[in-house]
Structure 1
Amino acid sequence: MKLKFTGVLLMLFQLSGMAQGTIEDYKRAKEIRSTFNQVYHVPQHIVWSEDGNSFSYRISSKEHKDILYLIDAVAKKKTAVDVVEIAKQMSTLLAQEVTLQTIPDRGLKVMRANELEFIERNSKWKWNTIENKLTKIGEASGQNFERRGGYWGVRGDDSKGDPVESPDKLHTAYIKNSNVYTAKAGDPKSEKQLTFDGSPGEYYTARIQWSGDSRKIVVSKIRKAEIRQLTLLESSPTDQLQPKLQTRDYVKPGDALPQYYPAVIDVEDGQIFRIDPTQVSDQFSLSNIAWRPDNSAITFEYNQRGHQRYDILELSAVNGQTKPLISEVSPSFIDYSGKKYRKDMDNTSEIIWASERDGWNHLYLFDASNGALKNQVTKGNWVVRKVIHADEDNRKVIFEASGMKKGEDPYLIRYYTIGFDGKGLKELTPETANHQATFNKNHTLFVDVFSRVDQAPQAVLRTTDGRTIMDLEQADITDLEATGWKAPEVFASTGRDGKTDIWGIIVRPKNFDSNKKYPVIEYIYAGPHSSFVPKSFYANPSGMYELAELGFVVVQIDGMGTSNRSKDFHDVAWKNLKDAGFPDRIAWMKAAAQAYPYMDIDRVGIYGTSAGGQSSTGALLFHPEFYKVGVSSCGCHDNRMDKIWWNEQWMGTVGKHYEECSNVENASRLEGKLMLIVGELDDNVDPSSTYQLVNQLIKNGKDHEFIMVPGMGHSSGGDYGEKKRRDFFVKHLLGVEPPAWNQY
């Protein structure tokens, strides 16, 4: 066996001077991972004090030490926490040897500029930097700092729940026999039934909300719907020989959904005002039920199935009238899952609301009493990415935006303030970079960590009136660069329409030689819920560098159909997930190859996971003239098989277009080389989606490779899957036989 492997090694070494994918390349790809942590002095885990005058953060230093700093934002002073001294004093207090490498994040609180609290050895501790004194302030047992487990899609039983006490504590309201009852507190004999039409199939929810004056309640009557169960077979459990069957709540596109009908009930006279059902027909969801401050009405949000109508509605508690306050309608989708923002300002009876009604995601100010539009707050051919804070006293909004600067990458996030009246726009972060801000509680100061994929991070302390008051850190990447690492290149070209700019990055191997020809591999994630090409500095985005070391140029692109650009840019995905921006991606790669002839676009591969798994297979099925080799992990290969919210958000209600976008239905189109990877316990994307694709490939006589990983959930395949993915590209794009791994 050793002789056989020696022969393989000899052959590969002989080829090393003339080809990629050699054993030297494999060795370098394996070793390069250890170099990516050589990025120092980047603030992590920023924690502000309650009063907003001090904060802490930690960095990794060149000496591979983790340093925690306390910052006095008023005095502009930075103090390193003495971990050695803390460990020494803790050893004395506990009468046992304690070694600390760092102060743990668990329970970390900044009390003031010279004092912090943290948890270690199941105890709470206080450290004072002026006195250099450690104090034990209590036990931490009983506090659960572990990450909560549980399945993301589990549906609770809202027909049951504890009695809900009125604000004046004189009454409780509760559910019994599917109906609503009240009773005086502590007097079960005073029980009073308020509804009589509840049943197990149409019950009243236990999520009861009292009005502030304790006179009325709001409760929803629910028309129940059966919940689909996802079935998973665990073939190789660790605690027994025989396989196990697992199930999950898993609602899919087209499934029936529960329907909610709020009702306001006067607990004294029993009068009931019910929602007008015609105004909330065919619900996808009905949410955020809340009482008006004056108890005159409730408001709630209604998302109509198909995601083309989204309303804020009001049900009067005085006359029972149902009326819309704000109504969003769209001929395509309303991106409620990614762009919805609502801020109710009770003192002025106003609502700040996010909308794409003018073709870009912006903020609008509405009169909350009647739904009248008062004014548009933000405007322009750019997008509001996130609202940080709506300051009612000063009538200003702090927000993230991108695309405001002409000529620069339109995805770079900057921070701004603007008045509720749409005037006084002010930029807070002037550097051409992707900014990530952490604000204090009163939104007067923020730590700004900014970088680009081709620019190392910096950190400064800023005020929300636009001043930089303290330099904090400048990242050190000299050790990383000394290994031969070079930053990705940001590249832009026009898309399918010949005018819209498409942005991406290019990663090359360390031993790059422009005289060679390099196959191109695209890492794809084209989900419409966001944009995905990294904008902040990261030494190894999506493992692209490790793959490049084998002899490839690796790229990542945001094509049309992804988010964070105009509404028209985004709408390409509507009922058309198979598009995945491919015409833009292909145009981008052709433009890159025109600029860099060493990029061989006659040999193009693609890989992705989840939605990227769907797209990477779709590349081979729908664009076989360009994409030749693909590796797809845990893909959603038919949108009817996946979770309801994600797929109906972009594809609408189930119709013929679902079949047209299905990799399963189009399996007969396969021409290139395809590898499919799936974890048998994937409860994010139903693994049967992959199995059904495999079934159709077999029925159509299409050659492919399939790897099912026992016990694995939603994943790219783990280390084994990564190894198989690299080998697949080396074999089919480079024409080199990968190492025989079993022989050493």
Structure 2
Amino acid sequence: MTEDVQVLRERVGEATGQTPAGRGLPFDHVGFVAPRLLATAVGSTRVTLHLDTGAVTAVPAEHPMDTAFGLSESARRAPREFLRTMPLADPQKTRELASPDGDLLVSTVEGNIVLRSAADGRPVPLTTDGCPEHEYRFDLVDPALASMGMAFPVCNWSPDGARLAVHRVDNRGVHAAPQVHYLKREDELVHRYHAQAGGPLERCTLHVLDVYGRPEVELDLGDTTDTYPVHAAWLPDGSQLVVFVLRRDCRRLDVLLADAATGATRPMFSEESESFVRIHHDVYFGRKLGVFPTPDSTGLLHLSERSGWKHLYLYDLEGRLVRQLTDGQWPVDYVHRVDDEYAYLTAHLDQDRPYDVHLARVPLAGGPVQRLSEQPGVHSVVFAPSGEALVDTWSTPAEGPRSVLRRADGSLLCELSTADTSRLDWTPPQQFTVTAADSETELWGVMFFPADFDESRQYPLVEHVYGGPQLAAGPHSFMGLFSRVAHALAQLGHVTFVIDGRGTPERSKAFHDVVLRDWTAGLVPDHAAAVEQLKRRHAFLSDAKVGVVGHSWGGYSAFRLAAERPDVYAAAVSSAPGFDPYSSVLYECYLGFPQTDRDAYRNADSYRVADRLESAFLLACGTSDHATWTDSVKMSEALIRAGKPHEFVVMPEQYHGFGSVHDSYLWRKVSGFLRAHLEEK
């Protein structure tokens, strides 16, 4: 290895005419520009490295003026920003999507699909009949959702780059939520489409566009009213697309095969259940559909919870079940690669540690699941383009990330990196278990401590809650989704914990289904039971009532915990909370429809329990958060009418997430609020 590095340094020196600094690899990042060709920069010089020959070639420098005016090769090929519209959310800045060969880049402008050629950098509309009310879109992976494991690569371009899969959304008749912008000289009112529970839903149709000018093809799906149709995948040969259609109530899905040239479709298989077969967030936002074509275009893998656990099934293209590939009392997380012999997946294989995620593979021909990772923790995987090797990275809440390079069979090639946590000024978090309110089910959580934690002292206990049915919030890796806020709350002088009660995913279907038609069935009893057990177990926890802090769905949960268990919670913070179950289609998967499931919606409605609030309460919301601003104003009104004192922190011009200045302001408010209302001993 040392000799290889030295040879590489010498070749870099020859190519660039300068001696690389240091002693190791003379660059800190690389990227593939072809299957066996890497590109990187050494100082100000760009170079390519050929993996087969070891040749290092300097790339001629581009003229600064060419780059500034978008005329250089790199500027023409670099994806540019555009404003992307999204379901239920505000438009977001994102970047063009490049075709497989990088010669074309796609975006949307005022409801139409636009292609930009890397040859001259000029855009050309591919559709012309779109408009904001009836617009074309294409799927993109949201980086924030991808970081949470809630979004995965989606299919737009055909494998040969000749066709583009898009959808057209008809928003006419859908509820438009008002959004007022106050900070200019004159107020500005805009509206954002936001379908409400039981109300009109946008109608979506699927289309295939041809970059060489052939007519647009609409896939024959019949009436798509009250369904969510999605392009799931191109078959590798590019002739057909797999289409995934989820019924609006999430109780039935249909998988079809569509001819890309004619739009003709035929059914492959369906799945129906008394509860959700896919959760709404996975389909609506993350496109985490769970269908994967085989490389030879003869089969389709499908993730299903029909057995009570999420497992993998193989179908042929006639829709016949060939075999079940995985089985057992543990769930598959997701499939990350399929080759001619194996499906490579992540799964919760160790039910003694149910939130650990391991790498595994299973033969398509049938056979036992082969575990590829050994160490406890949450493992993630990145495959080499060839599939011959993979990077395995894992961590626990108390152990920093480690990365190793493995062959596809799991055998170790080399260590890549190990995070050094020795200089952290911290007390490492601890995983723990408690028993749910049913006195049977084991719940898992993570506890966070002040940096100067002293076990002989007593500390107030604060819960950082989410409680939503679409994701497991417990941060069981080193930098889990909820780690940052939990660490921050602990540094205010509290012991903080995050736990996943019944009604959340990543366990059995029965564990998740507790949320069905009754959000509070697991939420309030389980979280309150966890508090009581932790306080009995640890002498360093104060006997006083505890605090609870939550954002978004967690804002709802924090309020319900405080309102329904004033004997447990002394203070609650709800930021960007969604209190009103009637306000969004996101609730339909779990509650049904207001017209037919009136009791479920009434029980989920938090305004009706406002008069039960005895805890100190801080409410915070951004005025531009069209999804939750109205909910927050209604809650404040309900509390005022009930004679309940509370603080309402208004965040001007903020959306569902807060900018750094406003976030810092809110944290100062939260710090003082918790200090004032949590008793310390």
Q: Name the TM tier (shorter chain).
A: 0.7 to 0.9
Corresponding residue of 1:373? 321
Give 5+ residue unaligned stretches, structure 2.
20-25, 63-71, 92-107, 116-125, 139-155, 160-164, 209-216, 283-287
Say whether the 8 Å CA contact 2:195–2:202 is kept in structure 1: no
Quote how far apart the aligned CAs of 1:731 are: 0.2
Retained in 1: the 8 A contact 2:503–2:513?
Answer: yes
Between 524-533 and 571-580, the greater mean CA deviation after superposition = 571-580
2:39 corresponds in structure 1 to 116
Assess, with a 3 A threshold, how the Cα gap between structure 1 residues 315 and 555 changes in structure 2: closer, same or farther.
Answer: closer
Task: Give 2:649's match in structure 1, choosing from 690, 707, 711.
Answer: 707
Match of 1:168 in 2: none
Closer/same/farther in 2, CA of residues 709 and 567 from structure 1, 3 Å limit? same
Counterpart check, 1:136 vs 2:78: no
Asked whether the 8 Å contact 1:108–1:119 carries over to 2, the reply is: no
1:363 deviates by 0.5
**In structure 2, the residue corresponding to 1:446 is in which secondary structure?**
strand
Alignment-mate amino acid for residue 607 of structure 1: V
Q: In structure 2, give the amino acid aligned to 1:141.
A: A
- Cα gap change, 1:148/1:380 in structure 2, threshold over 3 Å: closer, same or farther? farther
2:306 is the counterpart of 1:383: no
- Which runs of 5 or more residues in structure 1 are unaligned? 1-70, 92-101, 164-173, 179-199, 213-217, 265-271, 737-744
Amino acid corresponding to residue 231 of structure 1 in structure 2 = P
Corresponding residue to 2:313 among 332, 357, 364: 364
Q: Structure 1 residue aligned with 2:463, among 513, 519, 522?
A: 522
**CA pair 580-499 structure 1, distance change in 2 beyond 3 A:** closer
Give 1:258 shift. Answer: 4.2
Deviation at 1:637, TM superposition (A): 0.9
CA drift of 1:639 comes to 2.2
Q: 1:294 to 1:444 in 2, by over 3 A?
A: closer
CA deviations 1:84-112 (Å, max 9, x no partner) are: 999x9799xxxxxxxxxx9686x954779
Letter in 2 for 1:367: D
Give the corresponding residue for 1:446: 390
- Aligned-pair CA distance for 1:532: 1.4
Match of 1:235 in 2: 182
Q: For structure 1, which segment, 344-353 or 614-623, has the greater mean C-alpha deviation from structure 2 after superposition?
A: 344-353
Q: CA deviation at 1:316?
A: 9.3
CA-to-partner distance for each residue in 1:345-383, whole Å, 9 max, x for gaps? 4746321111000011111011221x2212111111111
**Number of the residue aligned with 1:125:** 46
Residues 9-24 of structure 1 correspond to what in structure 2 (within 5 A)?
A: none
Residue in 2 aligned with 1:472?
416
After superposition, residues 604-643 of structure 1 pair within 5 angstroms as: 604-642=546-584
For 1:459, give the aligned amino acid: S
Q: What displacement does 1:304 show?
A: 1.2
- Aligned with 2:674: secondary structure? helix
Other structure's SS at 1:532 match = coil
Question: CA separation in 1, counterparts of 2:433 and 2:342?
Answer: 35
Aligned residue identity for 1:374: V
CA distance in 1, matches of 2:392, 2:331: 20
**Aligned with 2:271 (options 328, 331, 346):** 328
Rounded Cα–Cα distance in structure 2 between residues aligned with 1:541 and 1:235: 34
Q: RMSD of aligned C-alpha atoms?
A: 4.7
CA separation of 1:572/1:506 partners in 2, compared to 1, >3 Å: closer, same or farther?
same
- Bigger Rg over Cα: 1
- Say which of 482, 485, 491 aligns to 1:549: 491
Deviations 1:393-436 (A, max 9, x none): 2x21110001x2242x2111110011123303211111112212
Please show how residues 387-466 of structure 1 align to structure 2 within 5 Å. 387-391=335-339, 393=340, 395-402=341-348, 404-407=349-352, 409-466=353-410
Q: Aligned to 1:456, what secondary structure does the other structure show?
A: coil
- The match for 2:437 among 489, 492, 496 is 496
Counterpart of 1:41 in structure 2 is none
Aligned counterpart for 1:650 among listed residues 590, 594, 615:
590
Q: Does 1:583 align with 2:528?
A: no
TM-aligned CA deviation for residue 273 of structure 1 = 12
Letter in 2 for 1:378: T
CA contact (8 A) 1:526 1:559 kept: yes
Q: TM-score, normalised by structure 2?
A: 0.75
Q: How does 1:195-274 map to 2 (within 5 A)?
A: 225-237=172-184, 241-259=185-203
**Does the CA-based 8 Å contact 2:309-2:509 persist in structure 1?**
yes
Structure of higher RCO (CA pairs closer than 8 Å, 6+ residues apart):
1
Paired residues of 2:236 and 2:297 also in contact (CA < 8 A) = no
Deviations 1:267-318, CA, capped at 9 Å, x for gaps: xxxxx999685xx675322232889899999863321111101111357999
In the alignment, the residues of structure 1 paired with residue 129 and residue 182 of structure 2 have an alpha-carbon distance, to the nearest angstrom, of 42
The verdict on how the C-alpha distance between 1:678 and 1:288 changes in structure 2, with shifts beyond 3 A counting, is same
Report the CA distance shift for 1:593/1:78 in structure 2 as closer, same or farther (over 3 A). Answer: farther
Does the Cα contact within 8 Å between 1:351 and 1:368 map onto a contact in 2? yes
SS at match of 1:245: strand
Q: What displacement does 1:456 show?
A: 2.6
Equivalent position amino acid for 2:326 in 1: T
Counterpart residue number, 2:246: 303
Taking the aligned partners of 2:610 and 2:347, their CA distance within structure 1 comes to: 41
Q: Does 1:341 align with 2:290?
A: yes
TM-score, L = length of structure 1 = 0.69
Report the 3-state secondary structure (helix = DSSP H, G, I; strand = E; otherwise coil) of the residue aligned with 2:656: coil
Equivalents in 1 of 2:112, 2:492: separation in Å? 58
**Given residue 335 of structure 2, which amino acid in structure 1 is its aligned partner?**
V
Task: Answer yes or no: is the 8 Å Cα contact 1:679–1:708 preserved in 2.
Answer: yes
1:652 maps to a residue whose letter is G
Q: Equivalent pairs: percent with the same residue?
A: 25
What's 1:19 paired with?
none
3-state SS of 2:486 partner: helix
**Residues in 1 aligned to 2:306 and 2:110: alpha-carbon distance in whole angstroms:** 35
User: Aligned letter for 1:136?
Assistant: P
CA-CA distance at 1:131 after TM superposition: 9.3
Aligned-pair distance for 1:538? 3.5
Per-residue CA deviation, residues 481-522 of structure 1 (Å, 9 max, x unaligned), is xx3x11101111221222221111112223333343322100
CA distance in 2, matches of 1:80, 1:630: 58
Q: CA deviation at 1:453?
A: 0.7
Kept after mapping to 2: 8 A contact 1:158/1:206: no
